[in-house]
Every structure is written in structure tokens, then in C-alpha cells.
Amino acid sequence: MRFVSGLGLGLHWVLTEAWLANIVTEKYRTRVMAIYATAISIGFAVGPMVIWLFGALSIIPFIIMGALLILAALPILRLKGHEPKDSQTRSASPLILIKKAPTVASACIVVGSVDLALISLLPAMITRTPEAAPILALIIVPAMAIGATILQYPIAIIADKHGLRKVGVMTVCAGLIFASLIPFFLGSVLLTLLFGFFAAGLVYALYSIGLAMLSRRFSGAEIVAANAGFVILFELSNLMGPWLAGFLLDINMRYGLPIFTCAIGIFYVSISWIRRRTNSNY
């Protein structure tokens, strides 16, 4: 059942993003992707909250999630006639994303690695830090969820004005700096929450920027394959990022996270710099 559920949601994920990229006009693409990413962020926050409210052993969370899936399908019925036209070109491999748009691929890796690493490891880091206030372990993740929700659209507007690649590099660098500072300020509840808010919001903004870059780089049958590659890289990064960050934290609780975030930042900036002579929007 878990396999079938994951398959269904994964296909929905890929096709939704590919469809969205096809039907949205160039003028509004980045902002629409930001709204889409905001909706995902809200979903990530609401899902665990439902389980927390009703309990993992209750059937109510399953009923609520099933009802939400049905409701989410209803708007799609109204889009009949707006489906992307069938392409006569040969379907491509998901690896096309890495081959033709390595900056987009690296953006996906950054978001997938850092986002889940912060969500899963910061509460544990706080509980293992004597000077940290215990309440931080409960409120740091909601603070990051709020940041990831609020900052998407404003950053999308800035990216449309100044270029996706340039703003992507700036948001990643700023977000990872905020993330790197968290271990050194766990004694202050306010600073830790502010750093978590901006770290998650700025890093997650790269997801919508990455999708906008992808949709400008690919079209037709290629965009579905590229979106599949985007999702695959995101999920692989979700697996490897927290593991690597946790390994570094076990070696050094204070410097493990900064080393991880700095390495990820150098990786993305290096790819973006190498590709600097290509179009500034991908």
C-alpha cells in the first residue's frame, strides 16, 4: 500500500509541475511557481499537525488526508481543454535535467538536502545543547514552516526583476549563512527562531526558482522528463542530506551543521559560476 501510495503521489507530483509549467505564461511563471511552492510548504506543515492533533493510531488523519486528496482532484476536472498538447517528439530520460540544466539540478539538490536536514535535525540538536531553551525544540520547525510559506512570493517578484540565476545564488548564500549561525545562538530563543525563519524561507525559495528555470529551459516532452529528474533528485537529496548532516553533527555538534551548509553552498555557487555564460534565467 505504501508503494502504491508513493507511486500515485509521485506521478501526480511530476505531472502537476510539468502541466503547470506548460500552461502558465512567461510573464507570471516564477510567481505562479512560488504560489505552488507555498502551497506545498503549507501542506508539509498541516500534515504532521493533523497527526499531532488526532494521534498516529487514530483513523481520523487518514480520513482527512483522503478527503483532501479528493478535493485536490476536483479543480483538475475544470481544467479540461487546457491539457498540454501531445508532443510528437521522442520522450527523454530524466537525466536530461543534469545534462542540459545542471544549475537547476544543483538547486534541487540544495533544497532537498538542506530543507529536510534542518527540519529533522534542529530539534535533536536543541535537546542535546545544554544552553538551549527546551521550548525551542517545539517551535523551531513551525518557525521554519512560516518562513518557507511567507518568503516565496516576494522572492519570486525579485527574481523576475533581477534574473533567476542571480537571485537564486543570493538567496542560497543568505539562507545557508542563517542556517550556519543557528548552532552558535541556541541560547537565544529570538535569534534562533529568526535564523530558522530566514534559513528555511530563503533556501526553500530556490525550489520555486528552480522550477521556473526548468520551465524556461525545457518544453514539450522534455519538460516531463526534466520534472521527473527534478523530483528524483529532490527525493534522493532528502535521503542523503539529513544522513550526511547527522554524521557531521555526531562528529562535532557545533560545527557539523555549518560545515554541511557551507559545503552545499559552495557546490551550488560553483555550478552556477561555471554556467554563468548561459542564459541568466537558467
Q: What is the pLDDT of residues 19-53, one digit of tens each?
A: 776 777 777 778 888 888 888 888 777 777 787 78
Is pTM beyond 0.85? Reply is: no
User: Residue ranges of the alpha helices (H) in the chain?
Assistant: 2-23, 29-54, 60-77, 96-100, 102-127, 136-150, 152-162, 164-181, 189-217, 221-251, 256-274
Contacts of 120 (CB under 8 A, 6+ apart): 242
**Which phi and psi (to 5°) does residue 57 adopt?**
-95, -5
Residue 229, domain extent: 2-274
How much is the pLDDT for 258? 94
Residue 7 lies in a domain: yes
Instruction: State the virtual CA torsion across 22, 169, 113, 222 in degrees, nearest 10.
Output: 30
Residue 62 lies in a domain: yes
What does the pLDDT look like over 223-232, one tens digit per residue? 878 888 888 8
Assigned domain for 280 exists: no
Alpha-carbon distance of 159 to 209, in angstroms, equals: 8
The CATH number that applies at residue 13 is 1.20.1250.20
Indicate the length of the chain as a whole number.
282
Has residue 138 been placed in a domain?
yes
Dihedral in degrees, nearest 10, Cα atoms 5, 6, 8, 10: 160
Q: How many whole angstroms separate alpha carbon 227 and alpha carbon 211?
A: 8
Contact criterion met (CB below 8 Å) for 205 and 155: yes
How many domains are there within the chain? Answer: 1
How large is the C-alpha radius of gyration of the chain?
Answer: 19
Q: What pLDDT does residue 251 have?
A: 93
Q: Is residue 282 part of a domain?
A: no
The answer to whether position 145 is within a domain reads yes
User: Which tens digit of pLDDT belongs to each residue from 120-173?
Assistant: 899 989 998 888 888 888 889 889 989 999 999 999 999 988 888 899 999 999
